[in-house]
Structure 1
């Protein structure tokens, strides 16, 4: 049975980085290490997400996909003026989406050039757009994506609700309302990024029944968030899998979130 880790990163310290990165790791996270962790935890497939500090130079990601084309898929970071040919080459290499990591960044106007052109190309390639942004800003991003294009959207890390508000965050409630579009998926991953001292874990427990009720398991995917940047000392793939078992005690439910849903979303079949 195929099982998919839908969110992981690989990198090396000697790779070219963007100017003034928000975060820069002090260690390597190689493909060999990652595959070893997958094997040790009984996970057959993985989705590699381009790290923010590597910007739109996806060469390291693409090289990794080329080494394990059956086992891996990729989510790239691109300039919004990227060419159709370059996107097509990425698709041929196993890329299935692009990521907008907008933490600490200005919000783009998705209705203004060059975004509509890019969204049309992504839709034609059956790519999704992955959004990483605090819940309070999701409406400004998702409204134009869902109303003006046919692109599918994947929202990272439970939608990043405000730690103080949790599931009562109006932005998280807005995210729940987007389930009706059937074009939004949510990654139930890295709950520790939604608040310290157990707050993120508590939010995840409160969020899961709401996400399940509105989106259904066929719109939820799980990710390990390996190598757990900034949380390396306390997190692991094993711990991430244990959390999924806490959120979804039924093995049948886990099989959907680990297998059936990501297999279709990330084009493993």
Structure 2
């Protein structure tokens, strides 16, 4: 497999009229439809994508569902839940292409207690269905939640290179906890959001590759760059990975092969 096969493991789709939660972190006043997403993928030679549920829209997963139904071979998605979910509900969502749950904890005054029964039962159901949990937290919060997620048996996918503390970088406690979690065998990391993390982002990517190898890393664009619209052409995220990971064989896995196994069951 070569760089020509690509799966974008972190994108967003939405319309301007989707209801926003109270006091959202971002409040886009434009639409980025699933049709626009597919056109963007086609224009940049990307085969498939994984839609990450985003905190501004809370548990309104309806538009992601519409996108998955419109493009079942090319898209997978994660959801946000704000209530306990029964297995039959998750099974129905899985048939439509949902493969994971995002925990929208970043920016909250305090982390929710994920040791409660509601969370533990959700994680068990996700593990039974071979879904993953996608924690949306700052890097310094990873040590607070990874042990509980690891103990649950669910797969874990951490975005944006783990968002290390910019002062300590790869030596931060959060990044060290992420590496330990990868070593335990059920954690993957998205090589994404470099534009949000500054010039050290390539250092983070290379350290993850050195320690974890390409079988635990997936590439993602973070399109349409909410909060940074118009600042980064999509192609720049592809070029960024080419520069960050010079080894062609490793890069091919990060661009597509690992994500195909993780999100599309190898198909």
TM-score of the two chains, using structure 1 as the length reference = 0.93
> Is there any run of 5+ residues in structure 1 with no aligned partner, and where?
195-199
SS of structure 2 residue aligned to 1:129:
strand
Q: Does 1:188 align with 2:191?
A: yes
Are 1:237 and 2:234 an aligned pair? yes
1:21 to 7, 19, 24: 24
Alignment of 1:111-260 (within 5 A): 111-147=115-151, 149-194=152-197, 200=198, 202-260=199-257
Deviates more, 1:60-69 or 1:174-183: 174-183
Aligned to 1:110: 114
Unaligned runs of 5+ in 2: none
> Aligned-pair distance for 1:168?
2.2
- Per-residue CA deviation, residues 70-92 of structure 1 (Å, 9 max, x unaligned), is 11100111124122222111101
Distance in 2 (CA, whole Å) between partners of 1:16 and 1:135 is: 29
Task: Tell me which residue corresponds to 2:86.
Answer: 83
Q: Whole-Å Cα distance in 2 between the matches of residues 107 and 69 of structure 1? A: 34
- Contact 1:167 1:203 (C-alpha < 8 Å) held by counterparts: no
May I ask how many residue pairs the two structures share in their alignment?
A: 262
Match of 1:197 in 2: none
Give the CA deviation at 1:157: 0.4
Q: Please tell me whether the aligned partners of residues 194 and 202 of structure 2 are also in contact (alpha carbons under 8 angstroms).
A: no
Equivalent residue runs for 1:3-18 within 5 Å? 3-18=6-21
Q: How does 1:88-107 map to 2 (within 5 A)?
A: 88-105=91-108, 106-107=110-111
The residue that corresponds to 2:261 in the other structure is 264
CA apart distance, 1:161:
1.1
Instruction: Give the Å deviation of 1:218.
Output: 0.2
CA shift at 1:192, angstroms? Answer: 2.0
Cα distance in structure 2, aligned partners of 1:110 and 1:51:
19
Let me know the Cα RMSD of the aligned residues.
1.3
Q: What is the Cα deviation at residue 142 of structure 1?
A: 0.4
What's the secondary structure of 1:6's corresponding residue? strand
The worse-fitting range, judged by mean Cα deviation, of 166-175 and 94-103 is 166-175
Stretch of structure 1 that moved more, 75-84 or 4-13: 75-84
Cα contact 2:205–2:244 (8 A) shared by 1 = yes
Distance 1:231 1:41 in 2: 19
